[in-house]
């Protein structure tokens, strides 16, 4: 989702090979129909992290059948890890989306993972807003983002600007996953 009112696009048009091309400047407007009631923040307090873990466990374990013991790991407590929570301001600040971002300053790369969204919030644009905020929060420190995501979610991540690294598919427990990457321009 674009937050700017518009951007300017320059188009060069050649009407006929024997005539010079014309340059037009067009404005593309990006006005959301209504602002999304999702507020994404960094989970800095222990109670915010507990809310993030609870949502992850609900989505990954209860909804998708993953094992509880591997959903919260040693990476969660590393200094380079940032946790994000998205709350629905229309639903009494209920936590509906979470993500984890591990930044490697030496490689100038961020690994986004543990992205979870309540099933009833799917299709509302919350996932895109969450990804945009996560990327914006660390983009000054990195040149690229990587993620190991469910093959079934590939279309969503492609819409966010990611592409498959290769054709390899792995099994994470019983779910097919693939590596995806996004380079910053």
- Asked if 75 contacts 81 with a C-beta cutoff of 8 angstroms, the reply is yes
**Residue 17 in this model has a pLDDT that exceeds 80:** no
Q: What is the DSSP string of 89-125?
A: TTTTTEEEEEEEEEEETTTTEEEEEEEEE-GGGTTTT
pLDDT number for residue 19: 59
Q: Is residue 130 part of a domain?
A: yes
Per the domain annotation, does 163 fall within a domain? Answer: yes
- Say which DSSP state 50 is in: H
For range 38-47, the mean pLDDT: 92
Q: Considering the domain boundaries, does residue 57 fall inside one?
A: yes
Domain membership of residue 42 as a residue range: 6-183
Residue 33's alpha-carbon distances to 29, 50, 95, 172, in angstroms, are 12, 33, 23, 38
pLDDT of 67 reads: 84
Average pLDDT over residues 24-43: 66
Tell me which of 65-69, 75-79, 116-120, 160-164 is least confident.
65-69
Assessment of whether the complete model's pTM goes beyond 0.85:
no
Say what percent of the chain tops pLDDT 90. 62
- 12 or 134, higher pLDDT: 134
Domain-located, residue 38: yes
CATH number at residue 165: 3.40.630.30
d(CA 104, CA 50): 24
Report the C-alpha gap between 110 and 102 in whole angstroms. 6
Residues 6 or more apart whose CB falls under 8 angstroms from that of 184 comprise 139, 142, 143, 144, 145
Of 136 and 35, more confident: 136
Whether residue 1 is predicted with pLDDT greater than 80 in this model: the reply is no
Taking only the tens place, the pLDDT of each residue in 110-162 is 999 999 999 999 999 999 999 999 999 999 999 999 999 999 999 999 999 99
Residue 42, strand partner residues: 84
Number of domains within the chain: 1
Residue 1 lies in a domain: no
Residue 24 has pLDDT above 80, yes or no: no
Residue with tokens 């040149």: 143
Residue 79 within any structural domain of the chain = yes
Using one digit for the tens of pLDDT, what is the confidence trace for 81-90? 999 999 998 8
């Amino acid at each position: 989702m674009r937050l700017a009112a518009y951007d300017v696009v320059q188009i060069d048009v050649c009407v006929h090979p024997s005539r010079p091309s014309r340059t037009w400047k067009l404005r593309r407007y990006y006005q959301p129909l209504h602002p999304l009631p999702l507020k994404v923040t960094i989970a800095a307090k222990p109670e915010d992290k507990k809310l993030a873990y609870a949502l992850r466990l609900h989505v990954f374990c209860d909804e998708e059948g993953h094992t509880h013991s591997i959903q919260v790991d040693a990476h969660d407590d590393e200094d380079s890890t940032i946790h994000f929570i998205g709350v629905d301001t229309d639903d009494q600040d209920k936590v509906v989306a979470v993500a984890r971002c591990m930044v490697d300053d030496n490689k100038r790369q961020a690994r986004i993972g543990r992205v979870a969204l309540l099933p009833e919030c799917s299709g509302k644009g919350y996932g895109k807003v969450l990804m945009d905020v996560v990327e914006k929060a660390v983009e000054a420190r990195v040149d690229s983002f990587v993620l190991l995501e469910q093959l079934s979610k590939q279309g969503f991540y492609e819409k966010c600007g990611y592409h498959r690294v290769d054709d390899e598919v792995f099994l994470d427990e019983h779910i097919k996953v693939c590596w995806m990457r996004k380079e910053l321009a």
